[in-house]
Amino acid sequence: MQEIYTEVIKLVTFFNKPENDKFLLETNNIELDFKLFPLFIAISHMQPVTVQKLSNFSGRPHSTISRQIQRLETKNLIQTKTNNHDNRSRVITLSLAGETLSSDIKIARFKTMEQVLSDITEQQEETIIDSLKLLNKAILKNAPTSKNND
């Protein structure tokens, strides 16, 4: 069990390092401030999403998320509108330019993964996929859920 935990932490740490985001953006000529990268990716996966949900997800203050939202909106990467269920909050989605950028990032990530995993056999790849699915299923089955995400 300790070995699984250690390996998962290594992966999470790798994906959470800002310098890795910066490297991905720079090496693929993607124009996005790496400081906005985690929020942009969260929006692309969670949309439509509110500032409150993003704040809860990221563990960052509402005011910080709001400022970053303004920067993404200024760059025309997202669009916001008043939440139909709560006039005090805004609903955020990617704009057409944001969707294009999200697609470019996915392509860059796949390209990177293909390079990193180029020496892995098809059978090893299937084993990795099966193992990750099993781990995700076990973790998500036992994960606490929040009923008040809005």
Break the chain into its structural domains and give their ranges.
Answer: 20-141
The whole-number pLDDT of residue 147 equals 43
The whole-number pLDDT of residue 142 equals 84
The whole-number pLDDT of residue 18 equals 86
38 close to 21: Cβ distance less than 8 angstroms: yes
Residues of the chain with pLDDT under 70: 145-150
The whole-number pLDDT of residue 148 equals 40
The whole-number pLDDT of residue 123 equals 97
Q: Phi/psi class of residue 33: alpha, beta or left (left: φ > 0; alpha: ψ in -120 to 50)?
A: beta
What is the C-alpha separation between 20 and 32, in angstroms, rounded?
A: 14
Sign of CA dihedral 16, 17, 22, 27: negative
What is the largest distance, in Å, between two alpha-carbon atoms of the chain?
53
What is the C-alpha separation between 114 and 30, in angstroms, rounded?
A: 19
pTM equals 0.82
What is the C-alpha separation between 78 and 92, in angstroms, rounded?
A: 7
* CATH 1.10.10.10, domain 20-141, yes or no: yes
CB-side neighbour CA atoms (13 Å) of 96 = 0
